[in-house]
Every structure is written in C-alpha cells, then in structure tokens.
C-alpha cells in the first residue's frame, strides 16, 4: 500500500471518529494500568462495570494491596482470567510501592517488568497515559491492519513495527484509537460492515469483495 493511500485511510478515520479515545474509564495512571491489565481477553464494557466500584473503594496501590488477592479476585470474577489477573495486580501494586514510590513508570522497560504487563499493555499505558507515539496491536488492530493491507504482518510485533513505519507522524499518537475503534465496530471479525466503512475504497479486502 502506497503512502498516499495510507494517509487517506487515517484522514478518513479521523473524520469518522474525530474524538477517538479509549473506552476504559480511569482517573489517573494507576487506574489506567489496572484497567488495561484487566482488559486482556475481556471487553472494555465488562472492565468498566467492575472498576467503577473497585476504584471508588480502592483507588491507589496501597488500597488495592490492602484489599488482598482473594477479595480482589472476588471483585473481578465476572472478568475472564480473574485468578491470574488478581495475582498479577497484587504483585504489581507491591512492586509499584517498593520500587517506584507508588507511581506508574513512564518507560517501556519498567512497565514490562510488572506482572501482567506485556508489550501491548505497555503500549496502551505509554500512549494513553504518557502521550507516547506507540501503537498497541490487539486482535482488532491486527485484523484490520492485515485485512485492509495497511500493515500486514505474520504476528502482532511485525504488524506493530509496520504500523509505526507507515503511519504518518501527525497520526502516530491517535492511530491506536482510530484503528481499535474501527476494528471493534466496523471491521469486525465476523459480520464486517464493508458497506458502512469509510475506508472501503482504500481497503484491499473490500476490493476483493467487489
């Protein structure tokens, strides 16, 4: 896909969702981190349903650590992988307090040293929380990037690197939000809505359907 087409894709996505932003509800870096950890293999809607009460009663690393793993697990049981996530979150809270004075670090290496934080989670926190030009590749972004021909890759890391390479600088900070929302609601895994897609003319997949 040539650079002119890539630019058109981002321009059209921007016009379609000009206020694109995360659908996770949070008030600070810590709450963002915990929400993103919880969102693995879960919907943002299901995470928000849990964190509304959780953050209201336990808004800090100290408070969540005091809650304990068992009670935390019970609080998030409606979200997938609750036992593992509860264990990782409690460990993360402990590390944040011991090594980072209770603050979420703003660099990749430190973030990825936290339990439950992989590359995708770190990218979300760096982009959403610290304004870094990172692109988190989840299932929606990976599917869209490959299906459209925007940034085909054999795995998420290849796709991420390709997206960072082809995305115009002016869109780097917003690209993640454009792509994930378009993939979540339009370029879906099944029942994809090509007839309602603003980038159907630029999409290589859409061309094949004609």
Mind telling me the catalytic residues? 120, 138
CA 107 remoteness from chain centre: 16
Neighbouring residues of 142: CB distance < 8 A, sequence distance ≥ 6: 153, 156, 159
Q: Are 119 and 164 in contact (CB under 8 A)?
A: no
Geometric angle at alpha carbon 53, from 50 and 58, rounded to 5°: 110
**In terms of Cα–Cα distance, which of 185, 184, 187, 181 is closest to 200?**
187
Both tokens of 170, joined, read 């002016």
Both tokens of 52, joined, read 């509304």
Both tokens of 164, joined, read 């960072």
Q: How far apart are CA 47 and CA 57, in angstroms?
A: 16
**In terms of Cα–Cα distance, which of 133, 99, 128 is closest to 114?**
99
Both tokens of 104, joined, read 């979420």
Q: Which residue bears the tokens 């995470």?
A: 47
């Amino acid at each position: 896909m040539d650079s002119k087409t890539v630019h058109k894709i981002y321009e059209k996505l921007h016009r379609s969702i000009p206020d694109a932003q995360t659908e996770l509800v949070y008030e600070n870096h810590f709450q963002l981190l915990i929400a993103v950890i919880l969102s693995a293999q879960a919907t943002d809607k299901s995470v928000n349903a849990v964190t509304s009460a959780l953050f209201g009663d336990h808004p800090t690393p100290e408070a969540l650590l005091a809650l304990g793993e068992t009670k935390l697990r019970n609080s998030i049981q409606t979200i997938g992988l609750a036992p593992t996530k509860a264990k990782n979150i409690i460990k993360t809270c402990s590390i944040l307090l011991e090594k980072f004075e209770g603050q979420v670090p703003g660099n990749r290496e430190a973030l990825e040293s936290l339990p439950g934080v992989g590359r995708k989670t770190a990218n979300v926190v760096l982009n959403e929380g610290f304004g870094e030009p990172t692109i988190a590749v989840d299932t929606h972004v990976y599917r869209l990037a490959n299906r459209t021909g925007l940034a085909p890759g054999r795995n998420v890391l290849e796709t991420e690197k390709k997206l960072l390479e082809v995305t115009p600088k002016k869109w780097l900070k917003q690209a993640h939000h454009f792509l994930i929302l378009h993939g979540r609601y339009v370029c879906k895994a099944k029942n994809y809505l090509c007839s309602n897609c603003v980038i159907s003319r630029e999409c290589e997949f859409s061309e094949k359907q004609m």
